[in-house]
Each structure stands twice: as C-alpha cells, then as structure tokens.
C-alpha cells in the first residue's frame, strides 16, 4: 500500500509543478495517467461504475475546478485560468493494493479568501491525521475536521466522506468529516483510512451535475477545496502512506517537468508537504481486514433513483450509502 500511495503522491507532486493557465482538465488527466502507468500502476478511477444509470467514470483523475467539490470529469472544453483553484483526486492500483490522495492547487495568483480556504482545509486534514491513533474512534477524526473548519468560518461537506482502503478501493468504515467525538468504530493497528476533508467557502450543500452525472458542485456557487491522504493506524501513531519520493519508472519524461523555462507559465502553488511521519508500512492492511465489509463507494454518490440525470440537491438522509448525522457507538 505504501508503494501504491507513493505513485499517487508523486503524480500529484508532479502536477503541482505543471498545472498552469491554458491547460485543460483533460490534459491534467492524461498527464496523470501517463505517470501512473509508467510507474507500473493502474488508474483506479477509470471505468469506475456509475451508481445510477449513467456512464462509467471516463477519467483516470477527478479534476474539479473552483465551485466543483469532487468527481469532476476531465474535459477538453474546461480550461484552467489564472486565479482558479483546481482539486485533483487520484487513485492507483499497484500489486493488488490501492492508493488514494487528493490535493487542491492554486493556479497563479488567487484571492486571499481562496488561499485561506486551501490553508484551512489542509490544516483540517493535518488535525484529522493526528486523531488517527490506536484507541480513538472514527468520529474523532471528523470532529477534528468540523471543529477547525467551522471555527474558521467555512463549512464541511456532509454528503461525501472518506473510507477504509486496502485490497479494495472502498472499504469500511466510512469516515465523515463531521460529528461528535467518541463514537463509531474504534481504531486498531493495521487499519488504513483515506481521510479527505471537503470544505466549502459558503454553505455545505451540493448539487449533482445534470451534464455528466458525476460532478458535484457547491449549491451556492462558492469555492470548494479537497485534500486527502491514506493513513495507517500503528502502535506508534498515525503514518501517512506515500511520502513523495522518486519511484522507479517515474523519471523525467522529457516534457519539461520541474523546468521553469518550459511548459505553462505560472505553476500551481504548492500548499504544504505531506504531514510529518509519512512513509507508512508495507505490511499495513486495509480497514476491511478488521471490519470485513466493502463500503462500495469512495464517496457516497447521489446519482440514483428519480433524481439521476438532472441537477439535484443532495440531501442529508440516511440510506444504503448515507450516514445518519449521528451514529451511536
């Protein structure tokens, strides 16, 4: 799992240096796929089945711009511009195990409020990682995120959550970014969780795109940021898997990566490095090794039933892929 996450993190690191004004979201996706395959990985999201009657996910990366929260479909028609924020979510299958991470990039000069949104979201992720310790409970993670985000004047998306990960991309438990502490499953060594705060500048409500059946946007049109890492629960504390290092097969491909004199003008600004303690253990197993059930989805997807295929408000209602707002022990 550490190796799978290394590929993901290195791909995001390279995109951080490459994304700039004039690049399409399809070009971002194609670059990510080349890097993944060159390292011997398989894009985990490409062809992921739609949970309604829509098409399977067509990209290797989810690329979401500005008010897009998650699951943005790469497109040759969507051009990144100066001042945008761009969230890239990447999953990789490598030698039977999955890696999954996301990062939101600032393209050139962004507004002060956009920069603060990215900073607060990354800080919330760091706080969540610190709660991923033996003996704590799943809800301690979300409580840390919600407390910091709301104290900063932003809101936490409730309809999309993190998850366990291992030999399957989507394993139990689901990991919401909100809730009361001391509830849900107890964390034990060997669990690996994909923790991913999604934070809106405005209200928490989201809408599902009628155009592609995947992209979720903020209902009020405000900006949204998304950061994610995979964290192993160990007896010595949390370990973030996949610290960016050189991976065999991911040498410079001659496209000017890292060369400021080539490619697009303003690079996407780096936010912060992977939290201290990254590196993980190749022996760590997915959370499902302890809980035994596949949660079926990385983020509960709102496209189902009579609302599929049109823009719909996503509602906080318990269901097969929904968490009640409060879950007992």
pLDDT tens string 47-105: 999 988 889 999 999 999 999 999 999 999 999 999 999 999 999 999 999 999 999 99
Category of 152 on φ-ψ map: left (φ > 0), alpha (ψ -120 to 50) or beta? alpha
- Describe the strand order of the beta sheet including 155-156 as a list of residue ranges: 155-156, 198-200, 224-226
Q: What is the SS3 assignment for 112?
A: helix
- Pull the structure tokens for residue 246: 């050189």
Q: What angle do CA 157, 49, 54 make, to 5 degrees?
A: 85
pLDDT in tens, the chain (329 residues): 999 999 999 999 999 999 999 999 999 999 999 999 999 999 999 999 998 888 999 999 999 999 999 999 999 999 999 999 999 999 999 999 999 999 999 999 999 999 999 999 999 999 999 999 999 999 999 999 999 999 999 999 999 999 999 999 999 999 999 999 999 999 999 999 999 999 999 999 999 998 899 999 999 999 999 999 999 999 999 999 996 433 445 544 434 333 322 233 333 443 333 333 333 333 333 333 222 222 233 343 333 332 332 232 333 333 322 333 222 22
CA 164 and chain centroid, separation: 13
Domains and CATH numbers, the chain: 2-313 (3.90.230.10)
Name the β-bridge partners of 94: 97
pLDDT given for residue 314 in this prediction: 31
The predicted model scores a pTM of 0.77
How many whole angstroms separate alpha carbon 69 and alpha carbon 86? 10
Residue by residue, what is the 3-state secondary structure of 52-115?
CCCCCCCCCEEEEECCEEECCCCCCCCECCCCCEEEEEEEEEECCEEEEEEEEEEECCCCHHHH
């Amino acid at each position: 799992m550490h190796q799978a996450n290394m590929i993901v993190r290195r791909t995001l690191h390279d995109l951080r240096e490459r994304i700039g004004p004039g690049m399409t979201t399809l070009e971002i996706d194609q670059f990510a796929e080349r890097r993944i395959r060159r390292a011997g990985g398989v894009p985990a999201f490409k062809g992921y089945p739609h949970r309604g009657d829509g098409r399977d996910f067509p990209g290797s990366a989810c690329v979401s711009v500005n008010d897009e929260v998650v699951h943005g479909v790469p497109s040759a028609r969507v051009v990144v511009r100066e001042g945008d924020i761009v969230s890239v979510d990447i999953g990789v299958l490598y030698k039977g195990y999955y890696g999954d991470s996301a990062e939101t990039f600032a393209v050139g000069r962004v507004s002060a409020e956009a920069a603060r949104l990215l900073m607060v979201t990354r800080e919330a992720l760091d706080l969540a990682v610190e709660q991923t310790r033996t003996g704590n409970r799943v809800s301690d993670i979300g409580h840390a995120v919600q407390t910091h985000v709301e104290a900063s004047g932003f809101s936490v998306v409730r309809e999309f959550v993190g998850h366990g990960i291992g030999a399957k991309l989507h394993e139990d438990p689901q990991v919401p970014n909100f809730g009361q502490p001391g509830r849900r499953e107890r964390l034990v060594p060997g669990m690996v969780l994909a923790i991913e705060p999604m934070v809106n500048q405005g209200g928490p409500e989201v809408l599902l795109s009628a155009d592609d059946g995947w992209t979720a946007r903020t209902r009020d049109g405000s900006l949204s940021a998304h950061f994610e890492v995979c964290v192993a629960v160990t007896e010595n504390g949390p370990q973030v898997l996949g610290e960016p290092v050189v991976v065999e097969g991911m040498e410079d491909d001659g496209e000017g990566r890292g060369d400021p004199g080539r490619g697009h003008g303003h690079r996407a600004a780096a936010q912060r490095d992977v939290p201290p303690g990254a590196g993980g253990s190749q022996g760590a197993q997915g959370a499902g090794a302890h809980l035994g059930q596949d949660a079926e989805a990385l983020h509960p997807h709102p496209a189902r039933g009579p609302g599929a295929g049109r823009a719909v408000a996503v509602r906080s209602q318990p269901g097969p892929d929904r968490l009640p707002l409060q879950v007992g022990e």
